[in-house]
Structure 1
């Protein structure tokens, strides 16, 4: 039995339901028993294996995909909910903690640095969207909201700026302090991911500008050398 639990706020709960339905169909197609559960608006101090629906002897993976960069840290407030989340997650004793983030420095960087980072990164991203998503697709309008991220990264300050991406080195230090260790990526995962990338939508790019590289335990997948990253950590002793 594969159990997947989505943790959402009141806004995200409705978004997760279609995801659960899609995963259920996927499980039925490949004869994989799958149970999808949604936990809405839990307080960090109450986050536990029991709340998530997992037994103490079950293997647990906590997946951080494009979520952590919007959480406040010590650069914004002494409250620092990001470190509290890391400590709570470590207390759940997960085997693996995958981290997927945009490889870009827009957190504590200067204004000019943020302008350069945001415009270059998102220009490459929007170009890839333009090359792979037909203009008449209804989903394209939803995808193009990424242009709003540029404005927030550059024009907003203080609590109004929620686009606060970090580079791999900073995430490595942050999670290391929290007690997590880097774990080498499985070569099977890397190989299958590479095949899927090169034979999927991204192969329709007009120019050969898709990059793929492995650095330590990090996978960089980018367009015009401005990548997103996948990093896998394990709980330290």
Structure 2
């Protein structure tokens, strides 16, 4: 039985040779949870390499919540989550849909609780900044590939939607091959 992505084995995926089908891997806000278990992130990245995908996309929060120093972690979390709540409160789409806002607040509340109240393998909220991600992915054998200008323009437009929040910025965009 698979409980987390670290429990996967490449053979479970039943992927045919790369000349028969193209494989894409898309991970959204999931890999940072693997840092709580020693060796889990390395295992998952190795499985991804084994299945030989044509493209790998990873979306993770840009934050520094993987430190063992409690006070530093709390200060970083305060800045990060206060910005997230500001965006939610100022977003027109969530103001018109209270259910979405409530669900987002519950999700963020669970993350905050885990980050503050849990330690060791029970603390799975372990976001990292771009620098450590780049090092980790490069050492796992992935190559960063810049995205096209059309995609960058779309991302800049999306970022402009949140211009009332100064902490959001476009720092780096890349896909992995």
Q: Distance between the aligned counterparts of 2:109 and 2:96, measured in 1?
A: 16
Contact 2:87 2:165 (8 Å CA) reproduced? no
Q: Cα RMSD (Å) of the superposition?
A: 2.8
Shift of 1:130: 0.7
Find the partner of 2:105 among 144, 167, 170: 144
Q: Which residue does the alignment assign to 2:175?
A: 232
Contact 1:119 1:150 (8 Å CA) reproduced? no
Q: Distance between the aligned counterparts of 2:31 and 2:82, measured in 1?
A: 23
Q: Distance between the aligned counterparts of 2:167 and 2:41, measured in 1?
A: 32
Q: Which residue does the alignment assign to 1:102?
A: 61
Shift of 1:109: 3.7
Structure holding more strand per residue: 1
Gaps of 5+ in 2: none
Bigger radius of gyration: 1
Find the partner of 1:114 among 65, 69, 73: 73
Q: Which residue does the alignment assign to 1:177?
A: 139
Shift of 1:88: 1.0
Find the partner of 2:49 among 90, 105, 109: 90
Gaps of 5+ in 1: 1-8, 13-40, 220-230
Change (3 A) 1:64 1:176: same
The higher relative CO (CA closer than 8 Å, separation ≥ 6) is in 2
Matches within 5 A, 1:124-203: 124-132=83-91, 133-134=94-95, 137-145=98-106, 146-198=108-160, 202=161
Q: Does 1:46 align with 2:5?
A: no
Change (3 A) 1:44 1:101: same
Give the number of equivalent residue pairs: 172
Q: Distance between the aligned counterparts of 1:188 and 1:135, measured in 2?
A: 30
Shift of 1:111: 0.6
Contact 2:86 2:165 (8 Å CA) reproduced? no
Contact 2:83 2:165 (8 Å CA) reproduced? no
Secondary structure at the counterpart of residue 102 of structure 1: coil
TM-score by length of 2: 0.82
